[in-house]
Amino acid sequence: MQKRIQRILALLLVPMLFTSCTVQQQVNSKKKVRIGVSVYDGYDTFISELTSTFRESAAVQQGSVQIEMSDATRSQELQDKAVRQMLDNGCDVICVNLVDRTAPGKIIDMAKKKDVPIIFFNRELVEEDLERWSKLYYVGADARESGVIQGRLAAAYLRAHPEADRNQDGTIQYVVLEGEAGHQDAILRTEYATATLRDSGISLEKLGYALANWNRLQAQTQVQQLLTSYGSQIELILANNDDMALGAIDAYRESSVAAPPIFGIDGTKPGLTAVREGGLTGTVRNDSEGQAKAMLSLALSLSTGEKCAYPLTEGRYIRLPYEPITAASLSSMTERSGAVSR
């Protein structure tokens, strides 16, 4: 009799255990992944477009992803504090667009202590810092590639338009609008753009350069000063990003001097509009949409164990390619898009 009672109790417990397991699975499947995102400057056009896509992509996850955003307003101290708060709030992964790429130490130490992975993006930190811990990652692009493409675009234009050499001395007098002093992307973009131009057979003479901190208004002010010094002697402007290139265009619109060819980098929406309208001679598209989606895919992979949709190089890097953009290539894209829609 006692054995019979035990068998009955055992049979009753089976569905209870099964139900308990199923509920727990449902709870786990509905658990939100909390992702912190800290940007160096929310007013940066490229970063704004990237984070907007990141939010939109996260929204598609049907409420399973919660985003905590923070704008460091170009202060590393504020960014460190924001990341500490995100860690205290229980973020599963934190994505960081560093204010100072040479000062990630506090963020790395805090994350390591809490065992929370960090995905650095857009502003690449020093390789030695990224190798300090196995749960540090980087999503972005290779700044050298953008410089090479910008140099090729400029060289192709100058070969096709000999009138760009205004004084016909066989040498192109140019100026550079640089992002930040000591910033890796600014250094590499400038170095590889000018080297590519020279390798393409273009003789160059640097008239000057200006630090404009990736900012359109600062670039406008700097180019106005360069115009005062050099006027129509400037035959080419290379800008480290589209915002500064647009600032140069603004300066020329307020001047009596005809604008020389101007090239940017990033392929932001305002930049692409300027290329279509002819003010910006060309730009190099930095895939903000792709980087945002790669960052989200990696964050979810680190949080849930799901496979990341983007391959990692050396187990920690996701780099997306750049794309050359001119008015002709944009026109071709529009025609292809129209053909598909028809």
Structural domains of the chain ordered from first start: 31-141+288-310 (3.40.50.2300), 144-285 (3.40.50.2300)
Report how far residue 295's alpha carbon sits from residue 97's, in angstroms, rounded to the nearest whole number.
Answer: 11
Least confident of 34-38, 221-225, 279-283, 330-334: 330-334
CA dihedral 14, 18, 20, 25 (to 10 degrees): 160
Report how far residue 30's alpha carbon sits from residue 27's, in angstroms, rounded to the nearest whole number.
Answer: 5
pLDDT digits (tens, 9 = 90+) for 221-271: 999 999 999 999 999 999 999 999 999 999 999 999 999 999 999 999 999
pLDDT for the residue numbered 63: 83
| Angle between helix 105-114 and helix 76-88 axes, rounded to 10 deg | 10
What is the arithmetic mean of pLDDT over 13-26? Answer: 32
Helix (H, G, I), strand (E, B) or coil at 179: coil
Mean pLDDT for the chain overall:
90
pLDDT for the residue numbered 5: 39
Q: How far is CA 129 from CA 17, 93, 109, 237, in A?
A: 48, 18, 11, 34
Contact in structure between 149 and 266 (CB atoms under 8 Å): no
Model confidence band, residue 183 (pLDDT cutoffs 50, 70, 90)? confident
For the chain, helix, strand, coil in percent to 5 are: 50, 20, 30
Q: How far is CA 106 from CA 52, 134, 252, in A?
A: 27, 16, 43
Model confidence band, residue 20 (pLDDT cutoffs 50, 70, 90)? very low
Beta bridge partners of 282: 263
Q: Count the Cβ atoms, other than its own, within 10 Å of residue 19.
A: 10
pLDDT for the residue numbered 339: 39
For residue 184, pLDDT beyond 90: no
Contact in structure between 194 and 150 (CB atoms under 8 Å): no
